[in-house]
């Protein structure tokens, strides 16, 4: 936070255009950034707020294929959906752009070309799976096969969605191309890498200047730099036909890696918004650049993107990256694929005109320092006992009294008592308190301060009791009501960053145009003699029925999930194929943990044929001492393989449930000796 900055550029993580926005996204980065920007605008600072849809990358091509439409159709659908719901929710982007725009393709392409011409990239030839039928390299997501860990037959080349393991495409058993169904072959391909290893000293120096970043952010960056071998070169191009084409020779069929292309989206969005002076926001040392993101994006925004910008030259680097942690929902991780989420577009339909309730709840419980949990019960409580009872109630009682006593005309303040002066002093101190919390990215604290202003109002009314005094001292009541109205007016100003819809309603009720931040330090924004409008309730109570409905809805998707996780049957095989496998009953003679691993047990098995060593990934489910003497089924003619330096000579057959938990399978009658064949 240097005082020399003349302007600020705020970016919010580009949401990936393969699904709608949910509350996790909002709490993670869109709401905090919006609060920050609204506050800065209210202060009259020069600030731009850019965002857009991230529309490239493999998952979108897969989704398109599945639905039989083009990738462009997919992103068109979600781009519109996300843009609309952000807008309706009051996320006040100056521009919500998209990476399939021409201007972005041009910008990203030029950016790559500049780095290429400067000789920044290293070229590397690697072996990748290639589908010879459709003449195309296969991204990890385009390869399916049997998961080597849980035997799920529908694991992807990068991940098994059933057991959650991260995989390499080459690990899959019976790998298959999803494009043609054929067996892929390994083929050499050339890609361009960003040599992060060589850039490490520069990145280190950059991070050293920013030890003031949030501890979760700085800590994670440091762990990347300090870990074992330090940073590793990372491919910035992919063999794919959806994305920004690589603008060099010999690069047919290659596009920029989404993580190269996406952050450049911030630049192209700025360009689109301000074609004439966009460079001011990206290249002037007096511009402060801030990236709002979720914790999953830290490495890209704090290491890779800055590295790209440094190597390009010209550009400024982020001054801060206030990343939030994750938001859970009713105790479970939010998951798009499991439909465990509160979707913004659905919320907006089901809770019409209640944007501010969600904004308030998410901000007050934002995962600023650790993962947090969103519950509907909490949502209800926050609405009923804070928004309704404290803020809404204060405004309501003030306006009702004003209409009752003065027919809606603001009375003039007469002589201030000691008590009044104290309240006025506190009133004018709020803007700075809230501001410093926002400047420090402590939005929960800022929000709590905002509510304290409403509390101050409630207390003032309770202490002065104008409804009693009106019978004995009318003059005094005028002063009291004037002060209560000033508090209401200043509330309208300082609540705007957090709950803008409420702010608008408040100004409308007060019958005045919206005031800017600096006015909130004044205690006479409402002139005496001014007539206010009729009062209406700011917030309505949320009843149990509504909350139960939401909880039931989540229960339904939980049930739906429990059913669908059963893996579909594998394609038909032949008896010949099956009989190639030599499976026997065996007994575990010895078992011990493989050091420095979480999942591995080293087993000695009596197979009836011999005694052999097998390494198996079952340590999470069985303790070594419990399984000695256990009878198991073992595949004995599997090619041996070294795991953690130990040669594993076979594979224990395990049953795996939908959670990826494992269980031995063995003969159910006692008199089956080791070495009995399983057929």
| Binding residues among 197-236 for RNA as defined by CB under 7 A | 215-216, 219-220, 222-223, 226-228
Sketch the per residue contact string, 6 through 25, with RNA: x for CB under 7 A, - otherwise: --------------------
Nearer to RNA, 216 or 488 (CB): 216
Q: How far is the CB of 629 from RNA (least distance, A)?
A: 20
Nearer to RNA, 225 or 512 (CB): 225
Please give the residues from 260 up to 319 whose contact with RNA meets the rule CB under 7 A. Answer: 295-296
Nearer to RNA, 252 or 598 (CB): 598
Per the CB < 8 A criterion, the answer to whether 609 and 584 are in contact is yes
Interface stretch with RNA, choices 56-64, 276-284, 533-541, 555-563 (CB under 7 A): 533-541
Determine the straight-line distance between the first and last CA of the chain, rounded to whole angstroms. 71
SS3 content of the chain, % helix, strand, coil (to 5): 45, 20, 35
**Which residue reads 């500049």 in tokens?**
114
Nearer to RNA, 64 or 615 (CB): 615
Q: How far apart are CA 114 and CA 110, in angstroms?
A: 6
Please give the residues from 501 up to 520 whose contact with RNA meets the rule CB under 7 A. Answer: none
Q: Which of 45, 279, 445, 582 binds RNA (CB under 7 A)?
A: 445
Q: Which of 468, 516, 518, 559 binds RNA (CB under 7 A)?
A: 468
Q: How far apart are CA 383 and CA 385, in angstroms?
A: 6
User: Kind and range of the H or E element at 38?
Assistant: helix 31-42
Please give the residues from 579 up to 598 whose contact with RNA meets the rule CB under 7 A. Answer: 594, 596-598
Please give the residues from 82 up to 121 whose contact with RNA meets the rule CB under 7 A. Answer: none
Q: Which of 344, 461, 509, 520 binds RNA (CB under 7 A)?
A: 461
Please give the residues from 646 up to 675 whose contact with RNA meets the rule CB under 7 A. Answer: 648, 650-652
Q: How far apart are CA 241 and CA 252, in angstroms?
A: 9
Please give the residues from 602 up to 641 whose contact with RNA meets the rule CB under 7 A. Answer: 614-617, 635, 638, 641
Nearer to RNA, 103 or 456 (CB): 456
Q: How far is the CB of 148 from RNA (least distance, A)?
A: 2
Q: How far apart are CA 281 and CA 278, in angstroms?
A: 6
Q: How far is the CB of 596 from RNA (least distance, A)?
A: 4
Alpha carbon 275 to its chain's center: 30
Q: How far is the CB of 31 from RNA (least distance, A)?
A: 15
**Which residue reads 């725009």 in tokens?**
101
Sorted by sequence, the CB contacts under 8 Å of residue 669 that are 6+ apart come out as none
Q: Which of 599, 611, 621, 667 binds RNA (CB under 7 A)?
A: 599
Report strand pairing: 95-98 vs 46-53.
parallel
Q: Which of 6, 87, 118, 459 binds RNA (CB under 7 A)?
A: 459
**Which residue reads 């996780």 in tokens?**
565
Please give the residues from 361 up to 420 whose contact with RNA meets the rule CB under 7 A. Answer: 364-365, 367-373, 378, 381, 384-386, 388-390, 392-394, 396-397, 400-401, 404
Q: Which of 421, 467, 474, 673 binds RNA (CB under 7 A)?
A: 467
Could you give the count of Cα atoms lying within 13 Å of 83 in the half-sphere of its Cβ? 17
Interface stretch with RNA, choices 183-191, 312-320, 412-420, 460-468 (CB under 7 A): 460-468
Number of residues counted as binding RNA (CB under 7 A): 81
Q: How far apart are CA 214 and CA 323, in angstroms?
A: 8
Tokens of residue 542, six digits: 């949320």
Nearer to RNA, 79 or 442 (CB): 442
User: Kind and range of the H or E element at 194?
Assistant: strand 185-194
Tokens of residue 264, six digits: 């450049």
Nearer to RNA, 92 or 611 (CB): 611
Nearer to RNA, 113 or 468 (CB): 468
Q: How far apart are CA 378 and CA 453, in angstroms?
A: 22
Q: How far apart are CA 295 and CA 283, in angstroms?
A: 26
Q: How many CB atoms lie within 10 A of CB 514?
A: 16
Nearer to RNA, 107 or 458 (CB): 458
**Which residue reads 């190597």 in tokens?**
311
Q: How far apart are CA 640 and CA 651, in angstroms?
A: 9
Please give the residues from 164 up to 203 whose contact with RNA meets the rule CB under 7 A. Answer: 165-166, 171, 173
Q: How far apart are CA 50 and CA 10, in angstroms?
A: 6
Applying CB under 7 A, does 155 fall inside the site for RNA? Answer: no
Sketch the per residue contact string, 314 through 353, with RNA: x for CB under 7 A, - otherwise: -----------xx------x--------------------
Q: How far is the CB of 168 from RNA (least distance, A)?
A: 8
Q: Name residue 651's beta-bridge partners.
A: 635
3-state secondary structure of 155: strand
Nearer to RNA, 141 or 271 (CB): 141
Q: Which of 15, 539, 585, 586 binds RNA (CB under 7 A)?
A: 539
Tokens of residue 245, six digits: 């084409």
Nearer to RNA, 371 or 556 (CB): 371
Q: How far is the CB of 646 from RNA (least distance, A)?
A: 9
Nearer to RNA, 419 or 556 (CB): 419
Per the CB < 8 A criterion, the answer to whether 101 and 275 are in contact is no
Q: How far is the CB of 453 from RNA (least distance, A)?
A: 11
Please give the residues from 21 up to 80 whose contact with RNA meets the rule CB under 7 A. Answer: none
Sorted by sequence, the CB contacts under 8 Å of residue 234 that are 6+ apart come out as 193, 194, 196, 257, 304
Q: How far is the CB of 620 from RNA (least distance, A)?
A: 8
Q: How far is CA 114 from CA 306, 308, 569, in A?
A: 15, 10, 50
Please give the residues from 547 up to 586 whose contact with RNA meets the rule CB under 7 A. Answer: none
The arrangement of strands across the sheet holding 372-374 comes to 332-333, 327-329, 372-374
């Amino acid at each position: 936070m240097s005082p020399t900055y003349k302007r600020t550029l705020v970016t919010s993580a580009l949401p990936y255009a393969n699904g709608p926005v949910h509350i996790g996204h909002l709490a993670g980065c869109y709401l905090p950034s919006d609060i920050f920007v609204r506050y800065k605008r209210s202060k009259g600072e020069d600030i731009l707020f850019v965002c857009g849809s991230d529309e490239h990358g493999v998952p979108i091509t897969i989704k398109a294929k599945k639905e039989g439409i083009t990738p462009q159709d997919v992103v068109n659908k979600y781009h519109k959906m996300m843009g609309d719901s952000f807008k309706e929710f009051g996320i006040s982007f100056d521009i919500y752009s998209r990476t399939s725009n021409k201007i972005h393709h041009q910008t990203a392409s030029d950016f790559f070309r500049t780095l290429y011409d400067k000789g920044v990239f290293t070229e590397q030839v690697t072996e990748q799976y290639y589908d010879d039928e459709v003449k195309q390299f296969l991204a990890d997501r385009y390869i399916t096969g049997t998961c080597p860990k849980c035997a799920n037959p529908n694991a992807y080349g990068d991940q098994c969605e059933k057991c959650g393991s991260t995989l390499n495409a080459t690990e899959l058993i019976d790998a298959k191309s999803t494009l043609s169904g054929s067996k892929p072959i390994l083929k050499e391909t050339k890609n361009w890498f960003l040599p992060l290893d060589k850039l490490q000293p520069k990145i280190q120096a950059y991070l050293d200047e920013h030890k003031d970043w949030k501890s979760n952010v700085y800590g994670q960056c440091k762990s990347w730099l300090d870990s074992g071998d330090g940073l590793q070169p990372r491919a910035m191009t992919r063999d794919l036909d959806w994305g920004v084409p690589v603008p060099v020779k010999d690069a047919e069929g290659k596009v920029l890696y989404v993580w190269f292309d996406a952050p450049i989206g911030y630049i192209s969005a700025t360009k689109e918004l301000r074609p004439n002076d966009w460079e001011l926001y990206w290249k002037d040392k007096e511009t402060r650049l801030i990236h709002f993101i979720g914790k999953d994006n830290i490495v890209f925004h704090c290491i890779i993107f800055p590295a790209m910008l440094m190597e390009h030259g010209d550009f400024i680097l982020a001054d801060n990256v206030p990343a939030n942690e994750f938001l859970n929902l009713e105790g479970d991780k939010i998951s798009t694929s499991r439909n465990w989420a509160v979707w913004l577009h659905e919320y907006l339909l089901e809770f019409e005109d209640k944007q501010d309730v969600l904004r308030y709840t998410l901000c007050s419980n934002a995962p600023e320092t650790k993962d947090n949990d969103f519950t509907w019960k909490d949502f209800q409580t926050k609405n009923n006992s804070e928004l309704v009872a404290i803020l809404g109630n204060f405004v309501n009682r003030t306006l009702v009294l004003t209409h009752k006593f003065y027919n809606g005309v603001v009375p003039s303040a007469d002589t201030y008592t000691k008590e009044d002066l104290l309240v006025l002093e506190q009133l004018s101190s709020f803007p700075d308190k809230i501001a410093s919390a926002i400047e420090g990215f402590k939005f929960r604290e800022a929000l709590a301060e905002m509510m304290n202003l409403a509390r101050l109002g409630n207390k003032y009314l309770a202490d002065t009791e104008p409804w009693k005094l009106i019978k004995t001292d009318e003059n005094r009541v005028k002063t009291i009501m004037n002060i209560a109205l000033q508090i209401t007016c200043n509330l309208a100003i300082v609540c705007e960053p957090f709950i803008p819809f409420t702010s608008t309603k408040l100004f409308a009720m007060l019958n005045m145009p919206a005031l800017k931040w600096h006015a909130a330090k004044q205690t006479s924004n409402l002139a005496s003699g001014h007539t206010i409008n009729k009062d209406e309730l700011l917030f309505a109570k949320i009843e149990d029925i509504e909350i139960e409905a939401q909880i039931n809805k989540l229960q339904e998707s939980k049930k739906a999930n429990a059913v669908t996780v059963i893996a579909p049957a594998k394609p038909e095989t032949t008896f010949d194929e099956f009989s190639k496998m030599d499976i026997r009953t065996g007994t575990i003679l010895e078992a011990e943990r493989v050091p420095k691993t979480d999942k591995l047990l080293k087993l000695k098995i009596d197979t009836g044929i011999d005694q052999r060593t097998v390494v198996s990934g079952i340590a999470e489910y069985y303790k070594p001492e419990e399984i000695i003497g256990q009878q198991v089924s073992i595949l004995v003619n599997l090619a041996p393989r070294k795991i953690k330096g130990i040669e594993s000579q076979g594979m224990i057959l395990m049953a795996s449930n939908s959670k990826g938990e494992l269980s031995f399978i063995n003969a159910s009658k006692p008199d089956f000796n080791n070495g009995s064949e399983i057929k």
